[in-house]
Amino acid sequence: MKIKSILGHLYVQVLIGVALGVLVGSLWPDLGSSLKPVGDGFVKLVKFMIAPIVFCTIVGGITSLTDTKKVGPTLARSLGLFYALTALALALGLATVMLFQPGAGMHINPAHLDPSVAAKYTSQLPSNNPTDFLLSIIPTTFVGAFADGEVLPVLVIALLCGFAFSKLGSPGQQVLNVVNSFNKLLFIMFGYIMKVAPLGAFGAMAFTVGKYGAHSIGNLGMLILAFYTACILFVAVGLGILARITGFSLWRILRYFKDEFLIVLATSSSEPVLPRLLSKLERLGCDRSVVGLVVPTGYSFNLTGTAIYLTLASMFIAQACDIRLDWGQILLMLGMMLLTSKGAAGVTGSGFVALVATLTVMPTLPLAGVALIVGIDRFMSEARALTSTVCNIVSCVAVAKWQHELDTEKLHTELKTGYVPTEPDTIKLTEPALAH
């Protein structure tokens, strides 16, 4: 029974899929190379979910921002901090991947990954004209943006719809409820897709090892090491400095929320701990209006763990495929990531969706390159979720302090004594949290 329970975890299933893929690719290289369609099929399953997920997530995030009358100053400081931290995460991820060079030496030909993607890569070179790029963001038709699967036009539509819903008030609430319900439906569907992740991991790893040799495992291991290093540095240095400037101890914050961090590590998702975060942040002395606005908003707009992952994964694919990106292309890619990282929710596998979304708008990099890392994506999701959770907690305390909505004495008292539950966790969610 215990073995059956262990095998029921997706993490274990993916691990088994990776191990079997390495075994098949090592012992029977020809068979492993022939399993490429298995990994490609999983990538296609993920890709068709991108546009509606991005639309619903952005619309839900924008409408939640306008649910309170205090949104003005709090929103300005929150979004400013979120984008500053995201930019720092992207820069740190870029520096780490350039230092570790995890994809160097793999010499993968993009044409061997997916001929159709390679044809698009050679026939639709990105335009160097900024005007053409900006015009391509504008959707031709409302529905056409979803039919074409282009992410940036969908983002434009989502932004317009989000602000329009916020102006409609109660008449638009029914439609907004449909959008939010559809968003939940999409992530349930995505949960079903993730059940075949072990099969996709098996096919991708078998193909990688069979085609490029067992030495490619070392490259993937180096990618994981680089990613965890970047996450630790971001939390210890970036968030540590923010905590010190704000006037509290990062270490004590980490200790105070240790139970929630264990849940995030176990589930590879930050969603299950949202109610507890709202409750414990209020207990720390943060005003409820700030907590209810900043934390749910941060779940869509402050995914720094995903930002680090996007940079490392994209540059890994470039290095593995011997694609040289100039600084103009790198800066453009980072700018795209500032947008695509906001379309990922805090659930397992959403970082992978954001990666595919990023590569979709960066034709310089082959979209099928995600097949190289699908086998190890699951092993980086814990750090993604945990880094973003820590960042949202620290950001909430910082914004509350800047808004003069923080009981500093209560904060230090709670952090010194530690969290001691005095009654069952009964959470009263604020309106913004409910809307989110």
| 318-332, 338-352, 360-374: least confidently modelled range | 338-352
Q: Which pair of structure tokens corresponds to residue 67?
A: 């649910």
Q: What is the mean pLDDT of the chain?
A: 74
Distance CA 275, CA 295 (A): 10
Q: What percent of the chain has pLDDT over 70?
A: 71
At residue 124, the pLDDT reads: 36
At residue 239, the pLDDT reads: 92
CB 20 within 8 A of CB 208: no
pLDDT digits (tens, 9 = 90+) for 246-259: 888 899 889 888 87
At residue 103, the pLDDT reads: 76
CB 379 within 8 A of CB 224: yes
Number of domains in the chain: 1
At residue 120, the pLDDT reads: 36
Q: Which pair of structure tokens corresponds to residue 278?
A: 């709202």
- What is the residue type of 259? D
Average pLDDT, integer, range 128-150: 68
Distance CA 46, CA 370 (A): 11
At residue 88, the pLDDT reads: 92
pLDDT digits (tens, 9 = 90+) for 423-435: 444 434 333 333 3
Most confident of 85-94, 126-135, 323-332, 426-435: 85-94
Domain containing 221 equals 2-435
pLDDT at 67 over 60: no
Backbone angles phi, psi at 286, to 5 degrees: -75, 135
pLDDT digits (tens, 9 = 90+) for 192-215: 777 777 787 788 778 877 876 666
Separate counts of helices (H) and strands (E) for the chain: 25, 0
Among left, alpha and beta (phi > 0; psi -120 to 50; other), residue 127 is beta
DSSP of 337-357? HHHHGGG--SSTTHHHHHHHH
At CB < 8 A and 24+ separation, what contacts does 270-274 make?
270/299, 270/346, 270/347, 270/385, 270/386, 270/388, 270/389, 270/392, 271/299, 271/345, 271/346, 271/347, 273/389, 274/299, 274/346, 274/433
CB 337 within 8 A of CB 358: yes
CB 63 within 8 A of CB 162: yes
pLDDT at 61 over 70: no
Q: pLDDT class for 118, splitting at 50, 70, 90?
A: very low
Q: How far is CA 31 from the centre of its chain?
A: 33
CATH number at residue 127: 1.10.3860
Nearest 5°: the CA angle 300, 306, 308 is 135
- What is the residue type of 31? L
pLDDT digits (tens, 9 = 90+) for 271-310: 667 667 777 888 888 877 677 677 777 777 778 888 898 8
Q: Which pair of structure tokens corresponds to residue 198?
A: 């072990």
Backbone angles phi, psi at 386, to 5 degrees: -65, -45
At residue 241, the pLDDT reads: 93
The more confidently predicted of residues 433 and 379 is 379
Backbone angles phi, psi at 406, to 5 degrees: -125, 125
Which spans in 234-326 are helix H? Answer: 240-246, 250-256, 258-267, 274-283, 288-301, 304-320
pLDDT at 324 over 70: yes
pLDDT at 170 over 80: no
Average pLDDT, integer, range 155-173: 77
Q: How far is CA 417 from the centre of its chain?
A: 33
Q: pLDDT class for 436, splitting at 50, 70, 90?
A: very low
| 88-97, 230-239, 263-272: least confidently modelled range | 263-272
At residue 232, the pLDDT reads: 93
Q: Would you give the end-to-end CA distance of the chain in angstroms?
A: 38
CB 102 within 8 A of CB 219: yes
| Residue 14 DSSP class | H
pLDDT at 134 over 50: yes
Q: What percent of the chain has pLDDT over 90?
A: 7
Distance CA 399, CA 75 (A): 9
pLDDT at 377 over 50: yes
pLDDT digits (tens, 9 = 90+) for 24-37: 888 888 888 888 78
